[in-house]
Structure 1
């Protein structure tokens, strides 16, 4: 009987480690995020993160250390070395910089058109589309509000979730491209 009473007292004490309380995520970190089990969901997450400047969700769209961004050569110009080792951390830093110069109530607009998916394997594809990105920010030295170009995303599926493993930007008009935006805001 004494043994049973001791056991009943010890078991709850041992099991308290199973129910650790953790800090909640910031309100904007998880909102609007869906598990990217399809390429369409990944692109929806990406678009929403860009529009709302949601840095945690934006960063979640990319695959870790192997990710690379290839800039538009014209926009990169003499700063091509800036993009030589561009990784997920630079993606995060540029978007954080843009966010700091944007009013909290502002929403950007990203529209992808003429999308084409080319599958290499069941877990690897290239998504290409034309983009128009309308940004509203307060840095008066960067005056462009509408950026356009062609986006080519190398996407890969791992653990049943799609992520962006590579991104190639290409200017399609006289307007500035996404490369110009990244180049300006990574240095601010």
Structure 2
């Protein structure tokens, strides 16, 4: 094949390189904050950090796949109890992403767990319970609560040497809104 013919065949490819622009790499996100949760304390640290910033990717990584269930506080769920009937990791991600979209970029949330108790069922299964106070900063004026309180019970399981949240039960402990109220609002708005 003559050299000129080869050149003509390659000419469109050479000319089209201007169609593609090299872009700067995406900045590293907070996924680098993730600590492999080989202990329950590390799982809770990841969970707290994901809520604080809010980081949807790391938040979702805290939960265990298709078997996960959230059981809402019955009084907070009220007439929307059916909303929580099949609540899974997908709904956790969606509500949290909705909250993140309404959170100012520089804002931080604060989760404080007190009176924590761990009850082991097996070496790879436990219930972590305690009181929580969650302070949120978000811009949706229809949801006015900034402090949520209650009792949480997390069923945690270890698989492949990593702890994950396999179940979550929320219970209101005061007149303040609970986590169920937050989830109910942000999954629907």
Length-normalised TM-score, structure 1: 0.86
| Aligned-residue offset at 1:109 | 0.4
Unmatched runs of 5 consecutive residues or more in structure 1: 1-23
TM-score by length of 2: 0.85
Moved over 2 A (4+): 24-29
In structure 1, the residue corresponding to 2:108 is in which secondary structure?
coil
Shift of 1:28: 2.2
Q: Which has the larger radius of gyration?
A: 2
CA RMSD in angstroms comes to 1.1
Q: 2:41 matched to which residue of 1?
A: 40
Query: Are 2:174 and 1:177 equivalent residues in the alignment?
Result: no
The DSSP-based 3-state class of the residue aligned with 2:158 is: strand
- Paired with 1:78 and 1:26, the residues of 2 have a C-alpha distance of 43
* Residue 180 of structure 1: how far off its partner (Å): 0.1
Residue correspondences, number:
165
Q: Deviation at 1:30?
A: 1.6
Give per-residue Cα distances to partners, 1:119-149, cap 9 Å, x unaligned: 0000000000100000010000000000000
Residues 25 and 155 (structure 1), Cα distance of their counterparts in 2 relative to 1, 3 Å cut: farther
Gaps of 5+ in 2: 1-24
1:32 Cα deviation from its structure 2 partner = 1.4
Residue 141 of structure 1: aligned partner: 142
Q: 1:134 to 1:72 in 2, by over 3 A?
A: same
Who is 1:3 aligned against? none
Shift in Å at residue 25 of structure 1?
Answer: 8.0
